[in-house]
A and B are shown apart, each in its own frame.
Chain A
Amino acid sequence: MNAQHAEQNLAVIRTLMERSALYRRALGPIFLVTGGIGVLAALAGLILPMESRAGFLGLWIAAAVVAIVVAVLMTRRQALRDREPLWSAPARRVAHAMLPPLLVGAALTAVVGEIFVVMPVWMILYGCALHATGFVTPRAVRWLGAAFMAAGVISLAIFGIWYSARAAAGLMGATFGGLHLLCGLYLTTTQKGSNGQ
């Protein structure tokens, strides 16, 4: 063996260790709860149609904040139970993968006025964020990301022709509620072991 071979071996070891360091938190229950929050927010939007931009953004940003807080608390609980750090290397990779599309989404929300544009943009960018985590999370999460992106594109096409506040609430419920619930149900029934893998 020469030094070049040793260096190659070290690179292979690093790559394999990174690949197998999967994000091992059970995402199924987290998606079920966030999906539930999405459905509740959609019901609120259907009962009290948010015609104004401020009302729509207020409702869904509040729902997102609640969902994020609950997801972090559930993740923390799992990490404590498994005696693993919350801010582990895979967790950092998930955060790094999700952050750019989510920041772009936040910036666009601030500058784009029309709800019928903001909403599909949220779906597409959230889908991108989920899809980007697919290298360290179960394959289903990548599919969930793809579903969000597709829903965003379809919403963009529909709202280009016709828009109503109730339809917007329904579509948000079907995606941020329904898609999360479906993925959560799938992961809960298919993931094995205490850590969900």
Chain B
Amino acid sequence: MNPDTFQKLDRVIHEAGRMAIMSTLAAAPELAFTEIRDTLNMTDGNLSVHIKTLQTAGYVAVTKSVQDRRPRTTCSLTPRGRAAFSEYIATLAQIVKESKTS
């Protein structure tokens, strides 16, 4: 198996919590902060920290708005985030493929 393939894994995404957030966001145009929290059974604090990391990397866009006089925070993948996630999945698939051919 080629060790370089492992090096290609995006370290920002390659963490259980952040990988879960990216996976959840990849299947929807946008999701409310609370929807992600409930889907992944995360605490507000834990989710905030991971979202911040992904936002800093330019992978996730966060929008704050007011709906029915209540604050609403929605998250979505940026084009850069979507590309990085596709690349991450392709790398995982390549690792699996290489292990089967070696």
Contact = CB atoms under 8 A, between A and B. Distances in A.
Interface of A: 1-3, 6-7, 9-10, 12-13, 16-22, 24, 192, 195, 197
B28 A10 contact: no
Contact of A6 (B26, B28, B92): B92
Contact of B95 (A6, A13, A21, A192): A6
A19 B28 CA distance: 10
A1 B6 contact: yes
Given A13-B23, A19-B27, A19-B39, 9 more contacts: A1-B95, A3-B95, A3-B98, A3-B99, A10-B89, A19-B24, A20-B24, A192-B32, A192-B68
Contact of A3 (B35, B89, B96): B96
A58 to B, nearest CB: 42
A1 to B, nearest CB: 6
A10 B96 CA distance: 10
B20 A16 contact: yes
Contacts of A13: 19, 23, 26, 89, 92
Interface of B: 1, 6, 9, 14, 19-20, 23-29, 31-32, 35, 39-40, 67-68, 72, 89, 92-93, 95-96, 98-100
Interface of B is mostly: helix
Interface centre among A2, A12, A20, A195 (most CB of B within 10 A): A20
A20 B19 CA distance: 14
26 contacts: A1-B9, A1-B14, A2-B99, A3-B95, A3-B100, A6-B92, A6-B96, A7-B96, A9-B19, A10-B89, A10-B96, A12-B20, A12-B23, A13-B92, A16-B20, A16-B23, A16-B24, A16-B40, A17-B24, A17-B26, A20-B24, A20-B27, A20-B35, A20-B39, A21-B27, A197-B35
A20 B40 CA distance: 10
Contacts, number: 64
B18 to A, nearest CB: 12
A22 B95 contact: no
Contacts of B95: 1, 3, 6
Contacts of A6: 92-93, 95-96, 99
Contacts of A1: 6, 9, 14, 95
B81 to A, nearest CB: 14
Contacts of A10: 89, 92-93, 96
A12 to B, nearest CB: 7
Contact of A12 (B19, B39, B100): B19
Contacts of A9: 19, 92
A6 B100 CA distance: 12
A94 B99 CA distance: 37
